[in-house]
A and B are shown apart, each in its own frame.
Chain A
Amino acid sequence: MTAAPAAPDTADDARARPAIVFEAVTKALGGRTILDRLDLEVPPGRFVVLIGPSGCGKTTTLKLVNRLESPDGGRVLVDGEDIARRDAVELRRGIGYVIQSGGLFPHWTVRDNIATVPRLLGWPRSRIRARIEELVGLLRLPADHIGRYPHQLSGGQQQRVGIARALAADPPILLMDEPFSALDPVTRLELQDEIKEIQQRTGKTVVFVTHDVDEAIKLATDIALLNAGRLACFGSPRQVTAAQAGSFTYDFLGGGAIGLRRLALEQVADRARSPGPGAPGRGGPQVAADASLREALSAMLEHGADRLSVVDAAGRPVGTLGWSDLAPR
């Protein structure tokens, strides 16, 4: 539940060169200015979440990366190169793209949907088959589902297929446009955990658009808060939630509830005290060591207790957490 450590950079030049750069990008749609000289750098291997009020330009920003939109002014660089000079079709095949509610081809099976980009790239059949198997495992899709059609799957499964399709050709960059907003809360939390794990494991650069602050704080290594076509704030979830009261960032990230969102970023294990003589007995309320402080607070309110027994994954008590331990240090 802690903020993810930065993915290890494999080479110094990778650290030196951002995966995606927006340089003074201006964009108007239908006579309305969407982006107003936006500057933004996405370092490689990071999970960057674009968030902001509706109409702030976050989806447009995402579409500028794979040239579904083109800037009116300024330029967008991918891997150091101005994408206006690249062939759009070839550029897009090298960038994964996931949209809300899948966008799966209804007349193709799961297998064919996942194979879309590898087929466009002319991979041999055997390699495509092996890759599909790998992705079905990675996204935890039931193996017998790959011959099914999208309408035979649940919304969550469809979105898993959508993610598998985007990952199929192993692109270094993954763009995700509100991928989970049409899902039920349980499925959404599940897929959030999985995409976070996949990103950490594969080290891909993810740019993720959402309007859900909790989702942003949970997933992001970096949050880019957009307002009126400009970057209002860029930083780790801890940094952005530390915003001063009265600022746009403070208000957008929760205003009066921002303290709860900060708690969501801290782990119980980091604040727990070793069990002392006053520790609650085994029967008392418990909290898992890897839970967030927000969950711990909820447990305290639920049980009317000002002290919780902290247990490890096996259920063994490893310490206690008191009300006063929740306060920021």
Chain B
Amino acid sequence: MSAAEAGGGGRLGRAAMLPALLTGWLVLLWALPHAGPLFAGLAPAGAPAVYTRSPLLMLALNHLLLVGVACTIALGLGLGTAIAVTRGAGAAFRPLVESLVALGQTIPPVAVLALAVPMIGFGAVPTIVALVLYGLLPVLQTALAAFDGTPPQLKEAAAGMGLSSGQMLRQLELPLAAPLVLAALRTSAATAMGTATIGSVVGASTLGDPIIAGLVGSNPAFVVEGCIAVAATAIAVDAVLRQLERASRRR
């Protein structure tokens, strides 16, 4: 019992780490625009050292929203496709789907934006399209591997006890696949956090705004500020997803 309690203490410590990290992230985003003197050396003479056109916190929330929406779509689409092509008539489409998704991964994000903008206009939507395209592959591939890896004797026991195929999916296959798929989603999200900054090129409001503004206006201070904000936000997202993944793995 004492070992269990010690373990519980460790878990408590770990549980307290996440709120601390998130608080640190908020404080950093709040403090960055006030840290002008820190970046003054990087800014060209006469130019502002920190980005003030829009509040960093708002940009971060927008950035998170874009990534969140894109990851949710990638998760739903990836998981749904994996479910569809691992059973019944859908199995015939599996090779095709796998090739298509892998192909989508090979198109550079900037090219996706350039192609998407004439069709769907500027703003958040083309950015989300690009993010989904990149997030899909890891989720789909992992879900396929997870479904393939469900031990056949478990499926047989489940069928033998009278679980319908839907019940087998919900009660056996999905819970066993969940930790793996969430780990893949974490990878997708980390990539998406960086890729989303490019959305600022096509008018989506993201943490890429200071970076793009810095590149356009030859102001390295803006670029550094934006990079720090993106990195901090990516770390925070990763920590939250890691916690989710751990919760799904708990047995």
A interface, CB within 8 angstroms of B: 66, 68, 89-94, 97, 99-107, 116-117, 120, 149, 151, 165-166, 175
Q: Is B154 an interface residue (CB 8 A)?
A: yes
Q: Pick the residue among A99, A107, A120 that contacts B153 (CB under 8 A).
A: A99
Contact B153 A116 (CB under 8 A): no
Query: 1/0 contact trace for B141-176 toward A, CB 8 Å?
Result: 000000000000110111111111001000110011
Contact A103 B251 (CB under 8 A): no
> A105-B172, A106-B176 known; A120 and B160 CB under 8 Å?
no
A102 (CB) vs chain B CBs: closest residue: B157
> A99-B153, A120-B167 known; A107 and B251 CB under 8 Å?
yes
Name the A residues within 8 Å of B164 (CB-CB).
Answer: 89
Contact B172 A93 (CB under 8 A): no
Contact A117 B176 (CB under 8 A): no
Contact A151 B251 (CB under 8 A): yes
Contact A120 B156 (CB under 8 A): no
Contact A103 B162 (CB under 8 A): no
Name the B residues within 8 Å of A105 (CB-CB).
Answer: 154, 158, 171-172
Query: 1/0 contact trace for B35-63 toward A, CB 8 Å?
Result: 00000000000000000000000000000
Contact B159 A103 (CB under 8 A): no
> A101-B153, A107-B175 known; A66 and B167 CB under 8 Å?
no
Name the B residues within 8 Å of A93 (CB-CB).
Answer: 161-162
Name the A residues within 8 Å of B153 (CB-CB).
Answer: 99-101, 103
A62 (CB) vs chain B CBs: closest residue: B160
A175 (CB) vs chain B CBs: closest residue: B160
B175 (CB) vs chain A CBs: closest residue: A107
Name the B residues within 8 Å of A165 (CB-CB).
Answer: 161
Name the A residues within 8 Å of B156 (CB-CB).
Answer: 68, 99, 103
Which 4 residue pairs across A and B have the least CB separation, nearest first? A103-B157, A93-B162, A97-B160, A92-B162
| Extra inter-chain contacts (13) besides given A105-B172, A120-B167, A165-B161, CB under 8 Å | A91-B162, A92-B160, A92-B161, A93-B161, A94-B162, A97-B160, A100-B153, A103-B156, A105-B154, A105-B158, A106-B251, A116-B163, A120-B161
CA distance A66 to B159 in the complex (A): 9
Contact A99 B162 (CB under 8 A): no
> A101-B153, A107-B251, A149-B251 known; A90 and B172 CB under 8 Å?
no
CA distance A91 to B160 in the complex (A): 9
CA distance A166 to B156 in the complex (A): 13
Least CB distance from A17 to B in Å reads: 23
Name the B residues within 8 Å of A104 (CB-CB).
Answer: 157
CA distance A78 to B46 in the complex (A): 90
Contact A68 B161 (CB under 8 A): no
Least CB distance from B24 to A in Å reads: 34
CA distance A91 to B175 in the complex (A): 26
Most A Cβ at <10 Å: residue of B154, B159, B161, B163: B161
Least CB distance from B196 to A in Å reads: 34
Least CB distance from A149 to B in Å reads: 5
CA distance A102 to B157 in the complex (A): 8
Contact B251 A117 (CB under 8 A): no
Contact A68 B162 (CB under 8 A): no
Sample (10) of A-B pairs whose CB atoms are under 8 Å apart: A66-B160, A68-B156, A68-B159, A100-B153, A103-B153, A106-B251, A116-B163, A117-B161, A120-B163, A166-B161
Query: 1/0 contact trace for B114-145 toward A, CB 8 Å?
Result: 00000000000000000000000000000000
CA distance A92 to B176 in the complex (A): 23
Name the A residues within 8 Å of B251 (CB-CB).
Answer: 106-107, 149, 151
Contact B162 A89 (CB under 8 A): yes
Least CB distance from A39 to B in Å reads: 24
Least CB distance from A62 to B in Å reads: 10
Name the B residues within 8 Å of A120 (CB-CB).
Answer: 161-163, 167
